[in-house]
Structure 1
Amino acid sequence: TLLIDSPKAEHAEIMAIIKGPDLATGGTLVDPKSIIDAAYESGRGAMRVRCKWEKEDAEGRGAWQIVVTEIPYQVQKGKLIEQIAQIIADKKLPILADIRDESDEQVRIILEPKSRAVDPEDLMNALFRMSDLENRFSLNMNVLDKDRVPKVMGISEVLKQWIVHQIEVLLRRSQHRLDKIDSRLELLGGYIIAYLNLDRVIEIIRNHDEPKPMLMDEFQLTDRQAEAILNMRLRSLRKLEEMELRRERDKLLEERDGLEKLIESPARQKTRLKKDLADLRKLYAEDTALGARRTMLIEAAPAREISLEAFIEKEPVTVIMSQRGWIKAMKGHADLSAPDSFKFKEGDGPKFAFHAQTTDKLLMCCDNGRFYTIGADKLPGARGFGEPVGSMVDLEAGAEPIALMVADMKARLLLASTWGRGFVANIADVVAETKKGRQVVNLKGDARLIVVRPVPEDADHVAAIGENRKLVVFSLSEMPEMAKGQGVMLQRYKDGGLSDAIVFTLEEGLSWAMGGVSGRTRTENDLTMWRVARGAAGRLPPTGFPKSGKFD
């Protein structure tokens, strides 16, 4: 009625009445009012609709579940359940254990968390991002105007065109009723003439084979009137019936007068339209069963990105990987002094063994320069032999893991290949997000990655030794930090390539394991003879350096 009385009303005045779309399946509209207003003003836009849910206590100490009672508009319940079930099967949301459909006439979808320690808000935020429990409802008011021309209109123009259409409908309906009244009045006029001249009418009908022309000529009747008189039933020939006809005629004449005034007066048309709308408002007011709003409007921020690792229960584990690439995790921090005591297949043995937490990410580096990331919580238990690491990542044929460690995002690594090239990389830059891993070190020909060593925070020098047993020591500052590439030349060779490299603190000296003496190391503090610029050829190492050409 606002636009009926004030056709030039502002958009803000209209939106003070229109809260937003009310969708058949309910749910919650979570976009701010500014977005809803803009969509209605332009006639085009999209709004976020979320399911309606609540936390429900379940049987058991502190156990709970989430019950979804309304789903977003145009989302099929069956496909939604399949979508969430696939998320669970793919282990994309480890904090969600199961989904059940307990719906009857009403929607009731049960979501069971993995642990009662999970925050329901965090779980639903994750599902809003990953599933159709939140989706975007598109608003496109491409409608026909009064001339039946399609056009995208804002809510103000749509309502104005609708009012014009309703006025047209009112006029057509009124004219149609007026025609019906005129038709009925014509017949009533004939019936009344017949009652006033009943004896003569009966005489004409009894004495003439063709009474119709006689009636029309004598009483000035129309064809329809004469036909109606001839079709009257004998039981209608009562005085009481004549009185009823006169009352009906008077009533129709009064109605006809009102319709004519309505058709001639635009003001009356607007008043009539407002009255009709008031009657509709009584039926569909928000406090009635028919008019109660289904879709609630509760402004909420976009579903935030939640680190799923935060929901993994932190527990100590011992990560074990065999020489043949079988990996597993033993609960607790086992004694690493006797790795041969761990269970392996016949002919297999330990390759890597270290302590970690279930919340850790593990970084596996292969000799082809590709790095992979594995969640410690995803590792199989230690009851059996574990699983081939190739079943957890897309390991390339012939690739050999040369390092496996906890991915400390603040730490750095020294990477070097047999070609003698290398660089320093931040672990945060080389962590892979997919099973395919990430190519970090670019290799040519038959070159392989052989050095993957942590860079201590206080380290300041690099020591590199070649297959020719020549040693060089140079400043760590000469090594570039890169996320990917071949790196720079550490040492120059005439024959062979790099055997090993290590990062150390010059003041503490260079240490290496003493061959044949288990657990003992030797440290060389005076490295003046080997300190050169990066890329030099170097000279033979100190006496006692292992023939293997390795620092450990």
Structure 2
Amino acid sequence: MARRPATPDLPPDDLVERIVDIDVATEMEGSFLEYAYSVIYSRALPDARDGLKPVQRRILFQMSDMGLRPDRPYVKSARVVGDVMGKLHPHGDTAIYDAMVRLAQPFSLRLPLIDGHGNFGSLDDGPAAPRYTEARMAPAAMAMTTGLDEDVVDFVPNYDNKLTQPDVLPAAIPNLLVNGAAGIAVGMATNMAPHNLVEVIAAARHLVQNPGATLEELMRFVPGPDLPGGGKIVGLDGVRDAYRTGRGAFRTRATARIENVTPKRKGIVITELPYGVGPEKVIEKIKEGVQSKKLSGISDAMDLTDRQHGLRLVVEVKTGFNPDAVLEQLYRYTPLEDSFSINNVALVEGQPRTLGLRELLVVWVDHRLVVVRRRSEHRLAKRLERLHLVEGLLVAIVDIDEVIQVIRASDDAETARARLRSVFDLSEAQAEYILELRLRRLTKFSRIELEREQEQLTTEIAELREILGDDARLRSLVADEMAEVAATYGTPRRTILLDSAGGASVTGAPAAGRSAATPLEIADTPTWALLSGTALLARTASDEPVHRSPDARRGKHDVLGGTVLTTARAEIGAVTSHGRVVRVSVLDLPALPPTDGTPSLSGGVPVSEVVALEPHERVVALASLAADAPTLALATAQGVIKRVIAGDVPGNRDAWEVIALKPGDEVVGAAAVTDEDELVLVSSDTSLLHFGASAVRPQGRAAGGMAGIKLAAGQRVVAFGAVPAGRAAEAVVVTVAGSSTALPGTQSGSAKVSPFEVYPGKGRATGGVRAHRLLKGEDALILAWVGVGPAWASGSAGQPIDLPPVDQRRDMSGVPLPAPVHAVG
């Protein structure tokens, strides 16, 4: 339409001013809501299924599409950023690179998803530019993306509708719980703590097999967060609140110990920091505290961190000051003690929700059930399609001469296809496939191959239909895949969980504000020194017998792995696997007030902070150093037994050898015994041997012991114990069987508890009797314990694990355990 010409009074139509009246409040409200929705759904909050924000998901998907697998060379980070920005995420290269860097930082994620090469930053400094760094997928990222080509998730268009991207990743790893998340949206935020993969998988498997599992049952597998940098979590009430409601808080503490930094001066050595705290920030706060007079007794603070020793901050203490009191001041005024607020907000079915532990596990388990079901449906369709073609090929090979005649007599491909379908009763797909058949497929061997493939396809189709038709079979498959993921990518727990500070620091020192003469103010009263199954040391507040009543079974932390009756100002010995005894002051152990007659070991101090251990050395027992103490019996993995006089203690040494070990041997257990006690050894091939302690004469510290049990080739002693005289009727034998090749802490195994009296005694240096019948898939005993009952078991984090009831039969198989057992006591 022609434009109306302008006149002196009226402008043209396209120049006429058009004004639309809009209410400012309505426009602001609508624009703000659109912005808020965009931030919540497209940027700040992770999806509860794969635990990823959109930019993180697009990075992993694009790297998978580029083939940047762990076995391929690194590529420049700038190339990855460019492809992600151009194809999937047009929001700027800085945001993409920042998200990519976080996915590669081992101090930010418990299980990094990107393998970064170059300077990817630290807790105190940012990363290098993307043109200087390189990256590829980490092994764990493969588990997040595996199955994308099997229609396991929905794909949605990208920003310009030219490409597609996954709405969510298959996520064989519970990424949201394992790596946590942090993000600030509009009107809401999320802050989730990292956890241990093995523990989360164990809880998820329990939920798969028991959909009605309660939160309390799941918390037995997931006792608390597991932070990338280790450290300690002090106080678990906030963690339990977060697991129930999705909101809570906990305190994290650095790992520190008192050492002699110079021959005449002590210092505080810090080897692990709270989550997200860098060493430069700690040093800066210490200097500020000294200048402002908040901190006293500090002469210097140094950062001696290097590649060989890892994190190492050394705070020198002035002469005349109590290092323990200085450490408590550091906890109070510096980031060596920090708080972490949990706010578990994630997207569930497109809606932001605050989730507890059970809800988070349910969402991920349901997602994995959907993924495995869709994958099975896809594979079933593919195999049915292939079987259909194979059956057609077999028909053609049987009557190949007639097939050739039909094709040669046809004028064109369409006629040949129609005649093949008519003569041999084939489908259109089969006829088309036969027309494309190559002459090399007409051999006898090809026919044999096709028949073998037909048989294999038939078997696989039956298995897939069984999975899709039986919910229990589907859940079993999902649980097995979860166990495989835990075995492949799982790592031991790094963070120590403490119920409370207990009035003492993590080094067992008294609280801040007490004088340097505090140990002199403690009365030399009788007390029990305790060693827990998770290598915590503590002492009781009195000499009341240490026991656990049946009514106090739940909620108690850990089991007793060793006890010694001593006094508060005495010294005891820590017997190690290297055949040494290390002197330990009882005052260095935190005092635990009893609870219902049972001390809670969660307030103990880790062995490594009290005992100076060599690499790969561990404490196996506690021993009295009193001159009138009974002899100390030791047993080694190679079947050697020895008794040594406990009073034979060098007066001027902090550690000494009590047995001369052969190369490759180690001490597996120790106990104080008299001549009337029974010594018991249990081997990995299920043999149990016991004999009187009088059969082993006491020797000097330099001796190598004598033959205790006769071992078969390739076998070792897994447990040693002593049954006091007159208490054989109360003693029990606990054996746990499993696979010797499985990753420690990932297999539950089977356990048996039987009375000690059903095992006949034999002479020293014999083979003993069988104590456990192995089930299918088991080839060895992985754990055993002998002692006065009742016996208790705990997991790697100290959580209680149910043992089967006492079985009066000696040579029987075990009962499957609900979770891996770390210790029995």
Structure index of larger Rg: 1
| TM-score (norm: length of structure 1) | 0.49
| TM-score (norm: length of structure 2) | 0.34
